[in-house]
Chains A and B, each alone.
Chain A
Amino acid sequence: MNAQPPIIELQHLSKEFRVGFFRKRVRAVRDLSLTVHQGEIFGFLGPNGAGKTTTIKMLMGLIYPSQGQAKLFGLPSDDLRAKARLGFLPEHPYFYDYLTGLEFLNFYARLFGLSSSIRSVRVERLLEQVGLSHARKLPLRKYSKGMIQRVGIAQALINDPDLVILDEPMSGLDPIGRKDVRDIIFRLRDSGKTVFFSSHILQDVEMLCDRVAIVTKGQLRKLGTLHDLLAELSGLKTEITFSGLSPLDLEQLQRLAERIVVPGPRATLVFPNERLDEAVRLILQKGGKLESMIPLKGTLEDLFVQQVHATQDEPSPLQDEPSASTLPENTQPSQETTRDA
């Protein structure tokens, strides 16, 4: 029904790295397919080492996929016509530290062949938007981390792109900066642009995104609208408020609970629904009085944690060849996924 090609199309994308003396395989991304359509704000989520940055680099043509392909605007991702309509902010950006903010943005603007009148207007406006007007004559060497992040966002918008790809745009920003970035993203959506970004800050994702994907260990685990994904989770937990239990009984009940919202004689606890029956029975048996029971809506954090836990026993990208598992390289990435367990 929609004649236009998707803005982003990943088809069975995989990437293997070879590391160390023994050229051990790291399968950073495996068979990842997804599409993003015009006007969407798309959140790309996953724990550390999940393969987000690797995917984004393939999307940008910085590294070549081992299998599969990435298309932007229906074109191969290294096509200049696609790049002309694209803005990109890499993870932990770093820019030419001998240039001033003004020189830097002008340099990139010239690569798009913008005329000098358009350039100067746009550069000033972007500096204003990211709150760096005061620092425009300062060399980037003297910028703070958050200021670099801001100028990074400005350079991603220099060509008035139709698609903006941001790898952790909020990292290093203060609360005001985060809000500024959220506002920029909303403004982009209001003018019909598409935004694809990775983030660890789930509140921002909840506020911003239409659709999200969750990857763990290089594989896509969940994909859908935020609304649908969270609806799947609802009915998993219930918040119960009650009174009239002895401290001893209360303590026993608290062991069943996942979380204590309000302690004390008139307590509010949250129970996972598997233990709901047991909890209610206990309250009534011990002569307690039920005051309210509210089914809780799932949060994105619940979904995220659930996905990470569900896949924590799978082999990590480094460990999938058991024969070589004694090598000392097996350290960071996979262990980090289990850290918040």
Chain B
Amino acid sequence: MHKLLVIAQNTFREAIRDKILYSIFFFAFLLLLASLALGELSLGHHIKVTKDLGLSAISFFGILIAIFTGVSLVHKEIDKRTLYTLLSKPIYRSQFVLGKYFGMLLTALTQLALLTALFSLLVLYQQKYIESALFQAILLYWMEIMLITSIALFFSSFTTPFFSGVFTFSIFVIGRLMPEIEILLKRTTNPLIWFLLKISTFLPNLDYLNIGQRVVHQESIPFDYILSSVTYTTLYIVLFLFFASLLFSRRDFI
């Protein structure tokens, strides 16, 4: 456990010393400010616009960080051969994979925390109070970020950053479109399309984690729903991390 944290800490340090991350963060920051401006400009529903745009920005940039760190940070260790000495130290390869994962999460969490703080200030500024449901939505977006990071890590344990990025992003899009896919599945008559759609239903359903809209429209979310979504996502995360470690452990580092 200790070694895992040492690796996580170094990964975090690497990420925060990388300039790309700051530019991503900077755009997220701008978008949040823009959501405030748009809210002010729109007639009547301005607080909804701010909340809606704000939550979307938090989610979108979180996913961006997840994919970016997930596909690049492990690959960089292999590509630059820093892994050779690291793996000669007394650590298991799975400790390396998990250490990297937690380092990536720490990076994403830092960013998420800062954006959430800013978002809360904006909401407070506009409506003088802030409802806890907004944080429930952010919690589930956080679960989604953790999941997407584990998927990116899984792909990067055996393929190039480009393909890892493409695959991970596809899974994200399919996951978000899951309700539409289920409707199509009932309607289609083409067996090939049916088969492809059926396969995609085994991927994680990210619609469960996307409750931003519902929260913004004052729908109340039962606690059970949150709990089961968190559990559902955690199971997928464990699965992806397990296979990432497994593939990584079997691989030759040439």
Contact = CB atoms under 8 A, between A and B. Distances in A.
Interface of A: 17, 57, 60-64, 80-81, 83-84, 86-90, 92-96, 98-99, 103, 107-108, 110-113, 152, 155-156, 159
Contact of B81 (A94, A111, A156): A94
B10 A83 contact: no
Interface stretch (B32-40, B50-58, B88-96): B88-96
B127 interface: no
Given A63-B254, A96-B10, A99-B13, A90 B89 contact: no
A103 B82 CA distance: 15
Contacts of B2: 113
Given A57-B253, A57-B254, A63-B254, A83 B89 contact: yes
A110 B6 contact: yes
B85 interface: yes
Contacts of A87: 88
A156 B91 CA distance: 15
B252 A64 contact: yes
Contacts of B250: 64
B17 interface: yes
A92 B80 CA distance: 10
Contacts of B89: 83, 108, 111-112, 159
B3 interface: yes
Contact of B90 (A64, A84, A90, A92): A84
Contacts of B6: 107, 110-111
A152 B253 contact: no
B85 A93 contact: yes
B84 interface: yes
B253 A63 contact: yes
B90 A95 contact: no
A80 B90 contact: yes
B10 A112 contact: no
A294 B89 CA distance: 52
Interface in B52-105: 80-82, 84-92
A80 B80 contact: no
A83 B85 contact: no
B14 interface: yes
B87 A61 contact: yes
A107 B84 contact: no
Contacts of A99: 10, 13
Contacts of A108: 85-86, 89
Nearest to B250: A64
Given A96-B10, A98-B14, A98-B17, A60 B82 contact: no
Contacts of B87: 60-62
6 cross-chain pairs, A with B, having the tightest CB-CB distances, nearest first:
A88-B88, A63-B252, A83-B90, A90-B84, A80-B90, A98-B17
A64 B249 CA distance: 10
A266 to B, nearest CB: 56
Given A90-B84, A94-B82, A98-B18, 10 more contacts: A57-B84, A57-B253, A61-B88, A62-B253, A80-B90, A80-B92, A94-B80, A103-B13, A111-B90, A156-B85
B77 to A, nearest CB: 9
A263 B232 CA distance: 87
A1 to B, nearest CB: 31
A154 B159 CA distance: 33
B101 to A, nearest CB: 17
20 contacts: A17-B254, A57-B253, A60-B84, A61-B87, A61-B88, A62-B87, A63-B252, A63-B254, A83-B90, A86-B88, A88-B84, A93-B85, A96-B14, A98-B17, A110-B3, A112-B89, A112-B90, A113-B3, A152-B85, A155-B85
A108 to B, nearest CB: 6
A92 B84 CA distance: 11
Nearest to B80: A94
Given A63-B252, A94-B81, A107 B88 contact: no
B85 A90 contact: yes
Given A57-B253, A63-B253, A98-B17, A83 B88 contact: yes
B91 A60 contact: no
Contacts of A89: 85
Contact of A95 (B82, B252, B254): B82
Chain A CB within 10 Å, residue with most, of B2, B10, B91, B250: B10
A303 to B, nearest CB: 30
Contacts of A80: 90-92
Contacts of B13: 98-99, 103
Nearest to B3: A111
Nearest to B16: A98
